[in-house]
């Protein structure tokens, strides 16, 4: 154990883990965060707070994590290198650790051209690999990048992302290896809609022993409709939805597409559980937290043996 993380405890115990994303609100009202977290609390081992995903502005990941820790939930702080330099990132990491955040997902971040303010100036002072090294330095060596010593070290369970579904496919395991060597202890993948591709990726990962050095959580999520699936395929960076799946949804009657998208997600989770080296799933359903709870239940992943302690948000 390198942290006080409940997520780390679940993964190291050998149990199949479940994490999910809480999409930050476009609001300054903390109740909006608590309302969404309530759907996820009893079905997940940890809740990701996204960091301006897609380069769109929302409540900050640090702010969401502060609210989640106050209410007794287990957050995963997502940190993107797009918007802050190394000075700001190091400060955010220490502040998050002081609030009780133990899980950190290190991301390079989507380009600003993909977001709602493409005129913004990107930073990219670091990338995901150098961010992992930075966070590990804070934790293990007790010093900043400048060399200045910390008075108290943060305790972090460090994570990174992977995308087995975008070419060049042969490069993906090698890129994962770089992140593991830099300090990644758990990995959350991009949406999986191509099971054969995930199996091929995990075969290489297993052959190289990477799944014994980091815990792999496969990303999954429901498709609301054929139109949404087409939009994601064209506009969400890194998402690849195979044509046969798009064709299947297009032939499904419109009113039934949402339920079919959920059924496909549940079926994927059941098959993913059987792939050697996969330690859990990361469920992403944009602003559909209640649907995440349905998916986890129908996939047979309940009850969670380690539950996030529910608290009354108003009392936090």
> pLDDT tens-digit profile of 160-217?
999 999 889 999 999 999 999 999 999 999 999 999 999 999 999 999 999 999 999 9
Region 285-295: mean pLDDT is: 90
How much is the pTM? 0.92
Question: Does any domain span residue 104?
Answer: yes
Q: Quote the domain boundaries for residue 101.
A: 6-315
Local structure of 200: helix, strand or coil: helix
Residue 23 pLDDT = 86
pLDDT of residue 198: 96
**Spatial contact of 217 and 186, defined as CB atoms under 8 Å apart:** yes
> Rounded to whole angstroms, how far apart are CA atoms 64 and 77?
9
Please check whether residue 102 lies inside any domain of the structure: yes
Contact assessment for residue 230 and residue 181, using Cβ atoms and an 8 Å cutoff: no
CATH, residue 149:
3.20.20.220
Confidence of residue 305 (pLDDT cuts 50, 70, 90): low
The model's confidence at residue 316, banded by pLDDT at 50, 70 and 90, is: very low
More confident residue, 56 or 90: 90
The average confidence (pLDDT) of the chain is: 93
Confidence of residue 313 (pLDDT cuts 50, 70, 90): very low
Q: Cα dihedral angle (46, 271, 172, 140), rounded to 10 degrees?
A: 30
pLDDT computed for residue 287 by the predictor:
83
Nearest to residue 12, comparing CAs of 50, 45, 47, 43? 45
Those residues with Cβ within 8 angstroms of residue 179's Cβ, 6 or more apart along the chain or in another chain:
106, 128, 129, 132, 160, 162, 187, 214
Count of domains forming the chain: 1
Indicate if the pLDDT at residue 2 is higher than 90: no
Q: Which two tokens stand for residue 268?
A: 């994927």
Give the model confidence (pLDDT) of 51-81 as tens digits. 988 889 999 999 999 999 999 999 999 999 9
End-to-end CA distance of the chain: 28
Per-residue model confidence (pLDDT) at position 53: 86
Per the domain annotation, does 155 fall within a domain? Answer: yes
Q: Is-contact 123 81, C-beta < 8 A?
A: yes
* Percent of the chain whose predicted confidence (pLDDT) is above 70: 96
- 271 within a domain of the structure (yes/no): yes
**Cα–Cα distance between 151 and 141 in angstroms, integer?**
11
Query: What's the confidence (pLDDT) of residue 1?
Result: 65
Domain contains 69: yes
Tens-digit pLDDT profile for residues 211-261: 999 999 999 999 999 999 999 988 887 888 999 999 999 999 999 999 999
Question: Is residue 312 pLDDT above 60, yes or no?
Answer: no
Q: Contact 136/77 with Cβ under 8 angstroms?
A: no
In a domain, 1, yes or no: no
């Amino acid at each position: 154990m390198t942290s006080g993380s409940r997520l780390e405890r679940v993964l190291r115990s050998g149990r199949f883990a479940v994490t999910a994303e809480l999409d930050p609100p476009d609001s300054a009202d903390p109740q909006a965060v608590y309302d969404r977290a309530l759907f996820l609390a009893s079905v997940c081992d940890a809740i990701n707070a996204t960091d301006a995903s897609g380069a769109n502005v929302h409540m900050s990941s640090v702010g969401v994590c502060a609210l989640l820790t106050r209410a007794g939930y287990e957050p995963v702080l997502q940190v993107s290198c797009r918007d802050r330099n190394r000075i700001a990132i190091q400060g955010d990491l220490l502040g998050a650790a002081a609030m009780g955040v133990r899980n950190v997902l290190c991301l390079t971040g989507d380009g600003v051209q993909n977001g709602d303010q493409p005129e913004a100036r990107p930073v990219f002072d670091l990338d995901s690999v150098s961010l992992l090294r930075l966070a590990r330095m804070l934790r293990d060596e007790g010093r900043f990048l400048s060399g200045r010593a910390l008075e108290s070290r943060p305790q972090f369970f460090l994570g990174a992302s992977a995308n087995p579904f975008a070419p060049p496919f042969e490069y993906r395991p090698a890129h994962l290896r770089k992140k593991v060597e830099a300090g990644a202890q758990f990995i959350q993948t991009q949406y999986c809609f191509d099971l054969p591709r995930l199996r091929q990726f995990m075969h290489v990962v297993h052959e190289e022993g990477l799944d014994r050095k980091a815990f792999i959580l496969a990303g999954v999520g429901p498709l609301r409709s054929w139109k949404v699936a087409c939009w994601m395929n064209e506009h969400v960076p890194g998402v690849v939805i195979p044509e046969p799946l798009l064709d299947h949804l297009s032939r499904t009657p419109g009113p039934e597409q949402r339920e079919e998208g959920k059924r496909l997600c549940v079926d994927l989770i059941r098959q993913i559980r059987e792939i050697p080296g996969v330690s859990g799933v990361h469920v992403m359903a944009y602003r559909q937290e209640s649907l995440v709870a349905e998916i986890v239940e129908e996939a047979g992943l309940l009850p969670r043996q380690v539950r996030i302690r529910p608290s009354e948000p108003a009392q936090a």
